[in-house]
Amino acid sequence: MLAALLRFNFLGGLYMSFLSHLISGVSLGSIYAIIALGYTMVYGIAKMLNFAHGDVIMVGAYVCFFAVSRYDMPVIPSVLLAVAACTALGVFIERLAYKPLRSAPSLAVLITAIGMSYFLQNSAQLLWTSNPKVFSSVVGNGSVKFFDGRLSISYNVIVTVLACIIIMSVLTWFTGRTKMGKAMRACSEDKDAAQLMGINVNATISMTFAIGSALAAVAGVLLCSVYPTLMPTTGSMPGIKAFTAAVFGGIGSIPGALLGGTLLGVIEIFAKAYISTQLSDAIVFLVLIIVLLVKPAGLLGKQVQEKV
């Protein structure tokens, strides 16, 4: 009798820890998904990889950090300020660095993007030094308890997942049902034909950068609420992971970014919890390699036939 109870408790504990890992995986994955959207939308429309995207996240987090801690602004206006700053930054980067290369070989654009990434990191280092700042969560550190306190879900997790769901549904609506969204899809299919239909391709690309960068700011704030160390290099690893997530789900596809991001987050947390903390990143990328071997276009990506 006693043995059976113990066993039940033991199994229950295992189940609860599994559940809590799953939840934090989904939460981390939601952040990856929000960042991945920026990569995937820009790739879909401008056919370029914006490697500076990860650093836009970092800038967003810094803006929010300073607004809250130095200027004592309330949380919501600070987040909005970060969003506005990143939107402007994204459009500025596009105008300055990528627009002049619209017809350049894709390799030149890629190198420019990498350069832009280092430029942002080093500017941040100059402006804000490389000393880590401690970011305090924008949603507080409380949590909701379930099952007599055996499972606790922090506010961070709830807000992150909710934000991801809201962003995904708004974006799906936006790209599917509004004229700007349709213009984006048209540009991603055939820029010249879109232009001849009176659609301003440059404005559409700028808008895509604006949306992606606004989302990056949200992701930056959410990310630093969970992992509070803020440094000029904070954005680079999540940036690369989110890029992986975008490729994983099928780059160019919005649902693909959601699926890829969530799966990547869950795999990462499970690998950390059950296999090895040090190896977790290696495992994540191993899964990516296996998926790409089986489905080269990613999980939801369309197989593109090369034009001959």
- Determine if 291 is a binding residue for another protein (CB under 8 A): no
40 vs 154, beta carbon nearer another protein: 40
Sites for another protein among residues 155-174 (CB under 8 A): 170, 173-174
Give min distance, CB of 257 to another protein, in A.
17
- Determine if 180 is a binding residue for another protein (CB under 8 A): yes
SS3 193: helix
Between CA 186 and CA 180 the distance in angstroms is: 10
Options 77-85, 90-98, 129-137, 187-195: segment touching another protein (CB under 8 A) = 187-195
* Among the listed residues 284, 280, 281, 236, the one whose alpha carbon sits nearest the alpha carbon of residue 260: 284
Element (DSSP H or E) covering residue 30: helix 2-46
Q: For 61, left (φ over 0), alpha (ψ -120 to 50), or beta?
A: alpha
Give min distance, CB of 79 to another protein, in A.
17
* Among the listed residues 286, 288, 262, the one whose alpha carbon sits nearest the alpha carbon of residue 276: 286
- Determine if 179 is a binding residue for another protein (CB under 8 A): yes
One character per residue 197-226, x = contact with another protein (rule: CB under 8 A) = xxxxx-----x-------------------
Between CA 165 and CA 171 the distance in angstroms is: 10
* Among the listed residues 134, 132, 152, 150, the one whose alpha carbon sits nearest the alpha carbon of residue 142: 152
How many residues belong to the chain? Answer: 308
Give min distance, CB of 186 to another protein, in A.
5
87 vs 137, beta carbon nearer another protein: 87
Give min distance, CB of 26 to another protein, in A.
25
- Determine if 195 is a binding residue for another protein (CB under 8 A): yes
Give min distance, CB of 175 to another protein, in A.
10
- Determine if 70 is a binding residue for another protein (CB under 8 A): no
Residue 8: partners with Cβ closer than 8 Å, 6 or more residues away: none
- Determine if 41 is a binding residue for another protein (CB under 8 A): no
Question: In the numeric block, which tokens belong to residue 46?
Answer: 């401008």
Residues near another protein, by CB under 8 A:
170, 173-174, 177-183, 185-186, 189-190, 192-201, 207
